[in-house]
Amino acid sequence: MFDPRLSVVEGDITRLAVDAIVNAANESLLGGGGVDGAIHAAAGPDLLEECRALGGCPTGEARITSGHRLSVKFVIHAVGPVWQGGTKNEDALLASCYVQSVKLAAQAGAASLAFPAISTGIYRFPPDRAAKIAIEATQAALADLPLPDRVIFCCFDHATAAIYRQLLGVDES
């Protein structure tokens, strides 16, 4: 499944040198824990004000803001589903987050995009299942778009990164 546009890194998404990062947001878009809290903290209070003006975002959708104090031009806020055993359309909602995020990045002219592992933290989506959906949905969205031409799956821990690397067929290097 090797795709030269896709790569995996382990680390802090707020420190990546990319045009846009995706925030694993909640429906309010007003910050939270995990990656959402880290992005809001790094971007500063103006991000919260811009998000407040958006009026929220339904699960399975995404919204775009500027990067504020981050080194990125854009933050794309994707609201993933809470895992409820796989019977509440969770797979389709998660896939939609990735597709919409790629499309928003392309519309904004972002050449590079980084995703966290959406919904795998406090939303409890099984990491292996989420990674497969993330990769397939991202590849499908990229198929008809010239940008972004580089997508990074930024994993907070080694175990999650290993799942992505295995699915993408890439080395640990």
Integer angstrom CA distances of residue 88 from 22, 78, 93, 132: 23, 18, 9, 18
Active site residue 36: yes
Report whether 116 contacts 35 (CB < 8 A). yes
User: Which of 3, 19, 36, 128 does the annotation list as catalytic?
Assistant: 36
Secondary structure percentages of the chain, helix, strand, coil, to 5 = 40, 20, 40
Say how many Å lie between the first and final Cα of the chain, rounded.
Answer: 17
Pick the closest to residue 83 from 116, 33, 133, 124 (CA basis).
124
Pick the closest to residue 82 from 26, 160, 153 (CA basis).
26
Give backbone dihedrals phi and psi of 155, rounded to 5 degrees, phi first.
Answer: -105, 140
**CA 28 to CA 37: how far, in whole Å?**
13
Residues identified as active-site: 36
